[in-house]
């Protein structure tokens, strides 16, 4: 444990902050008996609602204190201005221990920031009882805890894949064996879902530092940004989102693909490498079986394997040029076949065992019913819709949002294609620079997917930030990503109500301002800098 007293104070300050958040959650969190459709102000006179307001004040105070403490801790991770020096004030073990300590109060608190965990429990219950969750909603399926689910999601089929549904079913099955009352079963299920989320966090804890080392990035700074953060505390430990396991699986896939190849090729070592790549593909397949959005990571898993494979095949006398390009193409072809085989086998095998088909893909359209400015295309469409209302065309609001979302999909496709091309070019660089280039492109694609999709929730940013944390070496970019973490951590209230739902008009106008500012900055930088400047390093 580091000696300086101020580090001990930071550790204890973070523990006090999460304790305050946990206490506040008992009055203002997403408890089973709270109104699942409550807005900012609970129903009833002030004399009856004062516990909620006291809990909300405690939770917000604790969250702000946690953000400040985390930010100050990050300041200790900046290496001194000496070439080749590494930050020695905080070790990786100490940082992970600090994060675990901060999580303890949240583990014994009710869910915070979202009520999705109750929907998971209901989806598992109706599947166990013989109802297809891809056809019927949890209300029609007879879930005993349907009153805990927000009304918007009671009649919609589940948009999650077979692994998410199977895990939910297993959790509910164990809960039914342990407890007899429905209330007791729900409490047991909540604890088990939290254990699944923590399992995803353990994968992140294992693979973020590993990816950072492979990319020449400080693993302590990577773990601080991608794991020991307020965003993880709010939406993984407290919010219990299944995105936690998805993030862990994708990082495991990227980590296995990026691993150093054997220095000399023998049949045994080549077989071992193929087994690792099959595992990487299987991890992607399992992540897709939670949410289909994980599919976008598949090309980058293959390209990370290409960096390793082309290097091992090129030989010491190979130079950049045609022989090198052929080696890369050969490595990409081999990696594609092995990784895709692992992904298909994992996904198809899971679908076969559970009996769950692809009906969840059709259920994804129901998620677009929400219209919130946190999705950039939706926010721009809302702004156009508000303008149309001012000129006497209120009926055109929905059409404006739809058109903006279509343009968002087109932009996402173009951005994703450009980033895949950029990642392919990065495979020409051997070792850490090549891995770092591919991983930055992967994280940027995941960020674009989150921002340009029709609906955005703060926990959608977990995957992109975790991937970028292992690849971004520039301290300035690390702090910019930390700023994004802070903003995302503040976008929900403890009872699950989103700030976006309370700020529709100003939020939509903010999207317009952000897009205009981004265009201006991009044009100015493009005119004043060379192509090699301003990149994430």
Per-residue pLDDT at 82 exceeds 60: no
**What is the pTM for the complete model shown?**
0.90
Q: What's the 3-state SS for 25-94?
A: HHHHCCCCCCCCCCCCCCCCCHHHHHHHHHHHHHHHHHHHHHHHHHHHHHHCCCCCCCCCCCCCCCCHHH
What is the distance between the alpha carbons of residues 487 and 532, in angstroms, rounded to a whole number? 29
Question: Helix or strand or coil: residue 112?
Answer: coil
- Can you read off the two tokens belonging to residue 241? 């989102």
Report the pLDDT value the prediction gives residue 454, as an integer from 0 to 100: 92
The residue with tokens 């691993």 is 259
User: In whole angstroms, what is the distance from residue 327 CA to residue 362 CA?
Assistant: 41
**Where in the chain are the domains?**
5-79+88-528
Reported as half-sphere exposure (CB side, CA atoms, 13 A), residue 36 has a value of: 18
Q: Which of 399, 473, 492, 489 is nearest to 220 (CA)?
A: 473
Query: Where is mean pLDDT largest: 40-49, 362-371, 393-402?
Result: 393-402
pLDDT the model gives residue 500: 84
d(CA 372, CA 506): 11
Q: What does the pLDDT look like over 398-449, one tens digit per residue?
A: 999 999 999 999 999 999 999 999 999 998 888 889 999 999 999 999 999 9
- Residues 22-47 have a mean pLDDT of 75
The end-to-end CA distance of the chain, in Å, is: 30
**What does the pLDDT read at residue 309?**
58
- pLDDT at position 532, please? 43
């Amino acid at each position: 444990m580091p000696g300086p007293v101020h580090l001990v104070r930071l550790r204890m300050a973070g523990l006090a902050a999460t304790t305050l958040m946990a206490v506040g959650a008992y009055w203002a969190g997403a408890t089973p008996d709270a109104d699942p459709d409550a807005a900012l102000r609970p129903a009833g006179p002030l004399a009856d609602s004062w516990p909620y307001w006291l809990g909300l004040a405690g939770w917000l105070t604790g969250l702000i204190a946690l953000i400040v403490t985390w930010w100050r801790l990050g300041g200790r991770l900046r290496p001194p201005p000496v070439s080749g020096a590494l930050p020695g004030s905080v070790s990786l073990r100490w940082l992970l221990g600090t994060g675990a300590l901060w999580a303890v109060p949240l583990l014994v608190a009710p869910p915070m920031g979202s009520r999705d965990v109750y929907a998971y429990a209901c989806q598992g219950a109706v599947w166990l009882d013989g109802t297809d969750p891809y056809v019927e909603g949890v209300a029609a399926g007879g879930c005993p805890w349907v009153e805990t689910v927000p009304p918007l999601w009671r009649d919609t089929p589940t948009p999650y894949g077979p692994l998410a549904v199977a895990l939910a079913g297993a959790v509910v099955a164990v809960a039914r064996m342990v407890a007899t009352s429905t209330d007791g079963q729900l409490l047991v299920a909540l604890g088990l879902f939290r254990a699944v989320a923590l399992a995803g966090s353990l994968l992140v804890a294992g693979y973020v530092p590993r990816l950072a080392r492979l990319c020449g990035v400080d693993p302590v700074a990577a773990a601080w940004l991608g794991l020991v953060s307020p965003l993880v505390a709010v939406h993984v430990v407290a919010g219990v989102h299944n995105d936690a396991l998805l993030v862990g699986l994708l990082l495991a896939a990227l980590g296995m693909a990026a691993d150093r190849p054997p220095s000399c090729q023998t049949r045994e070592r080549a077989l071992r490498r193929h087994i690792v790549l099959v595992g990487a593909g299987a991890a992607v397949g399992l992540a897709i079986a939670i949410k289909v959005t994980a599919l976008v990571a598949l090309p980058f898993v293959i390209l990370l394997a290409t960096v390793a494979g082309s290097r091992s095949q090129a030989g010491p006398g190979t130079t950049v040029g045609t022989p090198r390009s052929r080696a890369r193409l050969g490595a990409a072809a081999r990696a594609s076949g092995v990784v895709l085989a692992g992904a298909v086998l994992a996904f198809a095998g899971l679908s076969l065992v559970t009996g769950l088909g692809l009906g969840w893909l059709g259920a994804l359209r129901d998620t677009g019913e929400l219209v919130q400015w946190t999705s950039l295309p939706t926010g721009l469409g809302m702004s156009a819709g508000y303008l149309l209302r001012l000129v006497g065309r209120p009926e055109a609001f929905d059409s404006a949002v739809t058109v903006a979302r279509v343009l968002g999909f087109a932009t996402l496709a173009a951005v994703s294609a450009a980033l895949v091309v950029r990642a392919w070019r990065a495979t020409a660089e051997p070792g850490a620079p090549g891995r770092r280039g591919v991983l930055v492109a992967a994280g940027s694609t995941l960020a674009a997917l989150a921002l340009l999709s029709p609906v955005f929730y703060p926990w959608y940013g977990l995957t992109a930030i975790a991937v970028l944390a292992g690849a971004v070496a520039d301290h300035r970019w690390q702090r910019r990503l930390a700023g994004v973490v802070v903003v995302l951590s503040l976008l929900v209230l403890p009872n699950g109500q989103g700030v976006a739902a309370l700020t529709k008009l100003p939020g939509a106008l903010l999207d317009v301002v952000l897009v205009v500012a981004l265009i201006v900055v991009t044009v100015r930088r493009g005119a004043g800098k060379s192509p090699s400047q301003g990149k994430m390093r």
